Structure 1
Amino acid sequence: MNREEFNKTTELTKNNKDYSRQAILSYVICSLLLIVNLYMVVALCIYEYRVNHKNKKNKRLIRTRQFGLVKDISANRMRHLCLTSCIFILPRLVCEFIEIKYGQDLDVICAVIRPIKVILQTVQLSCLYCVLWLRQRKLYTSEVMKPLVNKCTGFLSWAIIGIMISAAVVGVALYIFAVRFTSSNQGCIVGWSLVWKAAPGLMLIVTTITLQIILLGLLILPIYKHRRAMKGIGNPNKKDILLIRRVTIAAVVAVLTDLFCGLMTITLLIQSLSVLTHIFFDIDMIVSLFCVICSFKDWRMRLYPRLTKSTQVAGTVRRMRPGLGSNETENHRVDETAM
């Protein structure tokens, strides 16, 4: 064996050892994330069952007393979207295990599994952003908030859903049409690309952070205006400031996690540590889901069902208040179902 062949063999052995270490670490992280995700799926399913059970009881009681029914459709959709988002993380993590095991050997695995992972991630994040979008729309359409919303903010409140869809389509298209992944001794790597190889991941990071900040602003702005108006007439509502504080803390944690995981992903990609790159996206997905759930008032009931009684869960079917329409709330208070 000549010196050149010896050097190639030595380098290949070193790369295989590096990959093995990365693979073991990736297996451990993915296993922990899978356990956390499975727990969240079970917890949210229990919460879903409890809410449905409470709704059935409320329907029977309200009909017996001959009151009108009000169903909070937005609250139902937000709850379903959170559960859907959580469920979509499961196949993404399964794909991670497949890529770790076969990413060194099979080009077809890399070519297929990476786009599938991106699609699953896009659907998962889109569900979360739809939750945030529905919350701010619920506030903007309430009778108490309409006078406090200007035309520009009201337009952005609607237009942001189009921005979300466009960003999702462009992001997925970049991974499917502009980049091809192949196997290597370092796992799945970019074989060829029409753009800078870090561009798709960088776009995903920038889009995620931008959307979080815009949706946070759209949610907090009307509540802040409402609170100032109520303070001026001597009728402040402490629940408003609690909502602002809770949502802001959750959003800041999510944005900081986006930044950290994004920077780590780009750094690892540049250093060709391909096995670990998408693991940080998985961490970011679970943290983002956790933050969105924690921004709700009843987050403990959603995440820790064993620590709360089923009777404490609020249903989304209620008695219609006398003199109010089905979509109206009291004139002096922000709609509490968005909290």
Structure 2
Amino acid sequence: MENTTSFPENTDITRFVVLETSFSFLTLIVLYIVFCLLWYERTLLRNGSPGNGSSTPTNTAKYALAMRVQSILGPVFFLGRLATDHYELLAQYLQREPHDFCNVTWIVKIVCTALCISMVYLFLWTRQSFCYSDQSMRHLTTCATTALSWATLALIFVAEIICTILFGVTRFYRLTAKGCVLDTFTIPDNIPWIVLAVSTVGFQALLCGLFLYPLLKHRSVGTSSIRAFLPLVKRTTITATICISSDITATIIILFVEDQYNIVPDLVYALNLMINVVSVIAAFRDWRAKLFPMCVADRRRNDDLSIAGETNHSGSCSANRSKFTTTGDHATKIQTISTGIIYPKQLSDQAHVNNVASFQDESL
């Protein structure tokens, strides 16, 4: 009996099923992430601008906005990469390959990947810049750290631009039963990989150094404000380490692992980008609120939002902290009324504690 289900001759059924299933699953996850991040921003706008009050530094609010925008753009560019992967598989299956099909889709995928990675490392760079701009860490800011910081930012963009050109312009692909495979190249095949390794490892090493320096400097000593700020640096350092390790591992796998179905490169690229995107979201202290904003929306509308657009809660939907704050405020008012005295120094100290708490809320 003849099988009524057939695939075109230029489509490998195993590759098509594995990649299409994987990409569909990843697409749903990334769509959910983008939706939640946008919903979270909507919640911020509905509850008013974050960081109300004169104690919020203007530059801190700018850092917070920049990091939130970068955390949204990362998964958006990742969706562009996944959409191109879907298009490539579908066009191959339907035997509708336009002129220069493989080369065009390859360039689009390279550009989307470079933009996604750039947003991830730009986020990490912005985070370390914020750390050094804090008053408790400002004594660590020297001509050397400033120069290394700007050198890191320059290397990030130069590396992504050069590698995009080398991989997108000097390599040409052709369509086979196993998808688009490398056909010819105008420069030695190892040159783009060497440039990628040197440039990427270069700015990754600088970035790690900028994160580790405050931790090593204040490993066992420091004021209370520094000790309160160090968890932010530690958590971001872990995030940066995860992103860097994922990128290096993905590159090694793509270079040295061969499979007969040509599945590994596309799948490893996609999984690596997913790890980077999720790591950036996890870099915020209120990552639960970002990934489950509907839970935050159910809280009382007068719940305060921190300067980073993060809630002052740990992520659960309970209102215990709000009740505690309300009770504390009420007790303070009673004490003030009963004594009729205002203590400027105590209020100043309390404002300092609130500032430290705000910085911690802005942390990972």
Counterpart of 1:262?
251
SS of aligned partner of 1:55: coil
Counterpart of 1:290?
278
Most deviating of 283-292 and 250-259: 250-259
Aligned residue among 107, 111, 117 for 1:119: 111
Counterpart of 1:140?
132
Return the alpha-carbon distance in structure 1 between the equivalents of residues 23 and 112 of structure 2.
16
Most deviating of 166-175 and 139-148: 139-148
Equivalence map 1:165-176=2 (5 Å): 165-176=157-168
Counterpart of 1:108?
100
8 Å contact kept, 2:56–2:307 = no
Distance 1:92 1:125, change over 3 A: same
Distance 1:290 1:94, change over 3 A: same
8 Å contact kept, 1:16–1:186 = no
Most deviating of 69-78 and 241-250: 241-250
Tell me the alpha carbon deviations over residues 303-334 of structure 1, each in whole angstroms, 9 at most, x when there is no partner.
222444553642459xxxx9xxxxxx88x969
Q: Which structure 1 residue ranges, 5 or more long, are not aligned?
A: 1-14, 323-328
Amino acid at match of 1:246: R
Distance 1:273 1:152, change over 3 A: farther
Return the alpha-carbon distance in structure 1 between the equivalents of residues 10 and 107 of structure 2.
27
Tell me the alpha carbon deviations over residues 11-53 of structure 1, each in whole angstroms, 9 at most, x when there is no partner.
xxxx969821011100111011001101110111111112223
State the Cα distance separating 1:206 from its structure 2 match.
6.1
Amino acid at match of 1:303: L
Tell me the alpha carbon deviations over residues 242-276 of structure 1, each in whole angstroms, 9 at most, x when there is no partner.
334422333333333223322332245x5564354
**Identity across the alignment (%):** 21
Aligned residue among 80, 83, 97 for 1:94: 83
Counterpart of 1:129?
121
8 Å contact kept, 1:43–1:302 = yes
Counterpart of 1:193?
185
Aligned residue among 16, 19, 44 for 1:26: 19
Which has a greater percent of helix? 1
Return the alpha-carbon distance in structure 2 between the equivalents of residues 201 and 103 of structure 1.
28
Tell me the alpha carbon deviations over residues 83-135 of structure 1, each in whole angstroms, 9 at most, x when there is no partner.
01111111211100111233585362201010011101111111111111111
Amino acid at match of 2:276: S
8 Å contact kept, 2:228–2:356 = no
Return the alpha-carbon distance in structure 1 between the equivalents of residues 238 and 42 of structure 2.
28
| TM-align CA RMSD | 3.3
State the Cα distance separating 1:168 from its structure 2 match.
1.0
Return the alpha-carbon distance in structure 2 between the equivalents of residues 68 and 241 of structure 1.
21
8 Å contact kept, 1:157–1:218 = yes
8 Å contact kept, 2:172–2:182 = yes
Aligned residue among 45, 67, 70 for 1:52: 45
Distance 1:229 1:53, change over 3 A: farther
Amino acid at match of 1:80: V
Return the alpha-carbon distance in structure 2 between the equivalents of residues 267 and 220 of structure 1.
31
Tell me the alpha carbon deviations over residues 65-84 of structure 1, each in whole angstroms, 9 at most, x when there is no partner.
xx587541110011011101
Equivalence map 1:230-309=2 (5 Å): 230=222, 235=224, 238-268=227-257, 271=259, 273-309=261-297
Most deviating of 238-247 and 86-95: 238-247
Aligned residue among 61, 66, 71 for 1:77: 66
Distance 1:196 1:316, change over 3 A: same
SS of aligned partner of 1:190: strand
8 Å contact kept, 2:124–2:236 = no
Tell me the matched-pair count: 305
Amino acid at match of 1:19: D
Amino acid at match of 1:301: A
Return the alpha-carbon distance in structure 2 between the equivalents of residues 312 and 209 of structure 1.
41
Distance 1:237 1:18, change over 3 A: same
Equivalence map 1:7-46=2 (5 Å): 19-46=12-39
8 Å contact kept, 1:82–1:128 = yes
- The structure whose RCO (Cα within 8 Å, separation 6+) is larger is 1
Counterpart of 2:176?
184
